[in-house]
Amino acid sequence: MAQRFLTRAQVPEELAVSESQVHALIRRRDLRAAKIGGRGVWRISRTDLESYIEQTYATTDQWINDHPFSDVEDLDAHTSDADALDLADAESVHD
């Protein structure tokens, strides 16, 4: 059976992000967490983490729908200069 609650140290492993990013998600109330006990240890339920992940997928899908592109020229119009350089570097590796 999966563990019901995760610590703030376990969540970054699940999401492949830093602890500071998880802290920011909690502070912005993007990720629901509970402060438990007198020492105030933080716990995130697996259900809340899965809900956050599903919401992130929905938000990403909406962003993709709002920013369609059909080829690399369209991609360049929707990315920063740094992103475009990264894309160009990646393409040169495959050439």
Q: Which amino acid does the sequence have at 19?
A: E
Q: Which domains does the chain have, with CATH numbers?
A: 5-68 (1.10.1660)
What tokens appear for 3 in the block? 């563990």
Summarised one tens digit per residue, pLDDT across range 26-67 is 999 999 999 999 888 999 999 999 999 999 999 999 999 998
Between residues 95 and 83, the one the model is more confident about: 83
pLDDT at 79: 57
pLDDT at 94: 44
**Residues contacting residue 42 through CB under 8 Å, at least 6 positions apart:** 7, 8, 26, 33, 34, 35, 36
